Chain A
Amino acid sequence: MLKYLAKRGITYVVMIFLTTSAGYFLAVSSLKPALLEQERIPRPTPEQVANSMRLKGLDPDLNAWERYVQWLTGVVTRWDWGRSPNGAFINAEFGDRVWISTRLFLASIILTLVIGVALGVYSAARQYKFQDRVITSYSYLAYIVPAPIAYFLVQLGAININETVGQRIFFVTGISTPGMEPGWAQIVDMAAHYAVPTVAITLVGWGAYQIAQRQYLLDNVNADFVRTARAKGLSRNQAIARHALRVSFIPVAQSIAFTIPAIFAGGFFAEKIFAWPGVGSWSIDAISLQDVNAATATLAYGSVIFALGAILADFATTLVDPRVRVQ
């Protein structure tokens, strides 16, 4: 297993290096932070701009290859991913944003998985009955409605509650109220900020898992081995729970493994709409702010997360399916 992991790890390191390098060349040749500087008032002279850029390691006069070598040396020798045009250090900002994304998504993804899989099993056991039709229709609806619209609807709902009660129970944006004293009040404040995004992301998210789990389970409910289990003396529901469920969970486990690292990568819409400045919104902002180093860093991070997901998915499959053996 370890040997296998090492082998896969090396393959992914090579792939990550290639995507990141390609991403850097793309960014460095299309993003020109110096142009944004010139829109400042009073307008700085081109020399001033070049100077300030050079100080941040973003010398616009060097060609793409020279800058790539400079950037790569920094990353490899000092683990320094460079600076933004506004002078901020990528390394410092990165840690904060990953943590924000994680806090925003962690609870809702766990809820999404648990609710999605549970409802999938529940509805599969009641195929074509009223409960199944309601749940599955909802899931398809959640699938179709664009995420931003669903998030806005949840926000509106929260505002409505606030207005009805006449008191601010839920915060629809932001992470926390600044200047809170540590203690009970802070916890209440945090919960009030958490509730709306968590509910919104969960409500939108579980549909996909519900549909997948229901489908895979239904594929197995009438399998020959379930019939064998019933012939042994298990009731239909027991046979499904003990035999069909585990087999149907194999493909779902794979997709879950891919989801877990995605928590850290965040999501652009949710971060923007709920005003949580995480990695997702940062990657988009980096492009509009002509920030070469931040754009490359988020890209590299995305590749790492993807590789982790792939390894986790392999791992999860071997864990639940004895037929898969790792060589």
Chain B
Amino acid sequence: MSSETTTGSGTTASVNSTADAVERLHIAGLHAPTDAVLSVRDLNVRFNSENGVVHAVRGVDFDLLPGKTLGIVGESGSGKSVTSLAIMGLLPETAEVTGSVRLKGRELLGLSDKAMCEYRGNELAMVFQDPLSSLTPVYTVGTQIIEALTIHNPTMSKQAKEARAVELLAMVGIPSPKDRLKAFPHEFSGGMRQRVMIAIAIANNPRVLIADEPTTALDVTIQAQVLEVLHTAQEETGAAVVMITHDLGVVAGMADDIMVMYAGKPVETGAVDDIYYNPRMPYTLGLLGAVPRVDVSEKSSLVPIDGIPPNLLHTPTGCSFAPRCPLATEACLEGEPALAPVPGVALHHAACIKSEALGGDVDVHDIFSAPPVPESRFDAIPRENRSTVLELKDVRKHFPLTKGALLKKRIGTVKAVDGLSFDVREGECFSIVGESGSGKTTTLLEIMEFHKDQDGEVVIGGISNKQAADTKTKNAMRRELQMVFQDPTGALDPRFTVYEVLAEPLQNAGLDRQAIRKRIMELMKLVGLQPDHVNRFPNQFSGGQRQRIGIARALAVNPKLVVLDEPVSALDVSVQAGVINLLDKLRAELGLSYLLVAHDLSVVRHISNRVAVMYLGKIVEIGEVDRVFDNPRHPYTRALLSAIPVPDPHVERTRERIILKGDLPSPLDAPKGCNFATRCPVFAALPAAKQEKCLTLEPPLEAVAPSSAAQALEPAAPSPDQRFACFFPDGELDEDMLVSHDQAEHHAP
């Protein structure tokens, strides 16, 4: 598959050489002078900081053709966002930007703020990462959209502008757009606000639309919706899109070309298939191997990339990735390799002296010495024969919704957790997945509560919360169960050294000083940290190392069960892989059980044995992870799974997606029958008579009948470990909610 868009000029230019810069511009001129809508040449950004000059972007080149999509991929600090802000001219005045950015042949760099205003929001538009803070809270969304129109069309009449704003809101899929014009941003959910942001960005039919991590802050189902909106927006306006992301899955289906950035420099560029199927730079290989796949059941360790990205205060003398690269040799440290064409593949460039030895047939696990899949002693024991470490029986948490200041009137109930029952056995990892607001965190809080007045029973290591009257019992329960938190920075006291962090639970357990010291050294080694770093403070560690400290703290008192609340969602993919591997290893070695809450279904599939899918406080599907993921029965599970982007361009382009309508409803409006009916793709396609059943009766959790094939083989086979709560699992899906983009349409010139 060839693409017209090119990334990388392919010159072997060294930075700061004016002769080479001229050469690059020359090449840029030679290459389809009028075709490219946006040409970037030798873009460099430097910031002055207290410690010296940070060279955040070091020589970025690309051409963007109309209607095409370029994905810029990299971890935090790789310079991808700075690149986009430099193109938009939105960097602080103190930033030093050099090189050339041409929009339809006109140079943008060096223009004054005022001169740039003519391009920004007009031909060049941008969508930002955090939709919650990107809209002005005190103006209605209508005002904010109309402002974008007014700036560039001062003569447009008020009615025309309003009509256009309504049209834009309808285009990005906001229901009853006319009324919503008068709504303020806080009256919209995160996904809806991101739609408004897209509406503002495409208001003036931009030629180039830059999207900087547009879905990172959103739930997967909402992410699928927003990506769909971006797709529509691109089709409507014919704009070229620059999509910036750290998630290789998000761009796999959308992008025509990919640029992988590392340490402020593009390290590999090329057509999307070349990058995903034939990577020629170890870093790209590592990134692809570090992401767990939601569609693959085969268990293999993830590829961790050890170390941290280089400090951009100092210009790297050799390859900037060499310190983390398992293939690095002496030669890699002699001069930074330039982006060089990969022989035999047009327009594919890689900055690696060994790129010729790499390619699609090289196994990333061999290069990055991924650890072997750990085996737990429990793996051989059937689940029924293992003891239960945690059991929940019909746990409920209802919050009363009240009105009035002095005399409180109960006007409703929020059923955050509504009748949850499950158990976790020894040595297994049980995960709870669901959108934000589905009650995952409340469930964890209920488990950690240990109060006898709770509605429902929580049994931890054989002790029920109904017996938890005195401190001693509570302490015994707490020792069985420890927690690892989402944000490793916020969870560690910045004034405690690692030693103090780890010593605290041990002191509570009544150990003497000698024993504490010994245990801490053990723990440090266990989680892969250097024991002599115990006297450092948390801020001297990287994010991944801090999460390791959090894990060590949880393990200090030898718990049976570790509760993991989104343990890797705050980490970069390469670091995330290391932490996931560590969790896997610890579970096998120490015989731990995990209760994992995560929104990333790929991580869940990789690490867990069993999974429960929650929707509005209830479990809608539960069972063995491979069963649930390979053969989802509940429409919600199917929608969730189809929303996860997979880092595989072919799969992404061809598969059909279920795009749920709207957001998670407020628990207040939960319907009487099935909670999911309001958004259900099966329900929408059902005849009215059957819909009635969904609306009035609550579907119970029922076991899946064994498939006929399984019964034929082994007639007495027990029903498989999978239960779901839906009356019509085999019902047809509503066609409006099914979206697929076939390849031909997507790649039409």
Chain A residues within 8 Å of B, Cβ to Cβ: 7, 223-225, 227-236, 242-243, 246-247, 250, 320-323, 327
CB distance from A216 to the nearest CB of B (A): 13
Closest residue of A by beta carbon distance from B92: A222
B152 touches A233 (CB 8 A): yes
Question: Given A232-B147, A233-B117: A322 and B138 within 8 A (CB)?
Answer: yes
Interface locus among B124-132, B268-276, B716-724: B124-132
A321 touches B138 (CB 8 A): yes
B138 touches A247 (CB 8 A): yes
A224 touches B186 (CB 8 A): no
Interface core residue of A223, A231, A236, A322 (most chain B CB under 10 Å)? A231
**Distance A242 CA – B121 CA, assembled complex (angstroms):** 16
CB distance from A106 to the nearest CB of B (A): 30
B137 touches A228 (CB 8 A): no
Question: Given A225-B135, A225-B136, A246-B138: A231 and B120 within 8 A (CB)?
Answer: yes
B163 close to chain A: CB less than 8 A: no
CB neighbours of A247 from chain B (8 A): 136-138
A233 touches B118 (CB 8 A): yes
Question: Given A233-B121, A247-B136: A7 and B147 within 8 A (CB)?
Answer: no
CB neighbours of B201 from chain A (8 A): 231
Contact with B136, one of A233, A235, A236, A243 (Cβ below 8 angstroms): A243
**Distance A229 CA – B136 CA, assembled complex (angstroms):** 8
Closest residue of A by beta carbon distance from B132: A224
CB neighbours of B449 from chain A (8 A): none
Ordered by A's residue number, 15 sampled pairs between the chains whose C-beta atoms are within 8 Å are A225-B136, A227-B90, A227-B128, A228-B134, A228-B200, A229-B136, A231-B126, A232-B121, A232-B148, A233-B118, A235-B114, A320-B138, A323-B137, A323-B138, A323-B186
CB distance from B11 to the nearest CB of A (A): 32
Contact with A233, one of B120, B137, B184 (Cβ below 8 angstroms): B120
CB distance from B58 to the nearest CB of A (A): 24
B117 touches A234 (CB 8 A): yes
Contact with A231, one of B114, B118, B121, B136 (Cβ below 8 angstroms): B121
**Distance A250 CA – B128 CA, assembled complex (angstroms):** 25
Question: Given A231-B125, A233-B120: A224 and B134 within 8 A (CB)?
Answer: yes
B392-409 CB mask vs A (1 if < 8 Å, else 0) is: 000000000001010000
B151 close to chain A: CB less than 8 A: yes
CB distance from A80 to the nearest CB of B (A): 33
A228 touches B135 (CB 8 A): yes
**Distance A225 CA – B133 CA, assembled complex (angstroms):** 6
CB distance from B209 to the nearest CB of A (A): 11
Contact with B113, one of A229, A235, A320, A322 (Cβ below 8 angstroms): A235
Closest residue of B by beta carbon distance from A244: B136
B233 close to chain A: CB less than 8 A: no
CB distance from B536 to the nearest CB of A (A): 31
CB neighbours of B186 from chain A (8 A): 322-323
**Distance A321 CA – B185 CA, assembled complex (angstroms):** 12
**Distance A250 CA – B138 CA, assembled complex (angstroms):** 10
B287 close to chain A: CB less than 8 A: no
A228 touches B405 (CB 8 A): no
B122 close to chain A: CB less than 8 A: yes
**Distance A323 CA – B137 CA, assembled complex (angstroms):** 7
Closest residue of B by beta carbon distance from A229: B136
B88 close to chain A: CB less than 8 A: yes
Question: Given A243-B136, A246-B138, A247-B136: A234 and B151 within 8 A (CB)?
Answer: yes
B197 close to chain A: CB less than 8 A: yes
Interface core residue of A225, A233, A246 (most chain B CB under 10 Å)? A233
**Distance A322 CA – B139 CA, assembled complex (angstroms):** 8
B184 touches A322 (CB 8 A): yes
CB distance from B430 to the nearest CB of A (A): 38
Closest residue of A by beta carbon distance from B138: A246
CB distance from A313 to the nearest CB of B (A): 17
**Distance A304 CA – B137 CA, assembled complex (angstroms):** 33
B197 touches A228 (CB 8 A): yes
B90 touches A231 (CB 8 A): yes
Contact with A236, one of B88, B113, B128, B130 (Cβ below 8 angstroms): B113
CB neighbours of B152 from chain A (8 A): 233
**Distance A199 CA – B133 CA, assembled complex (angstroms):** 42
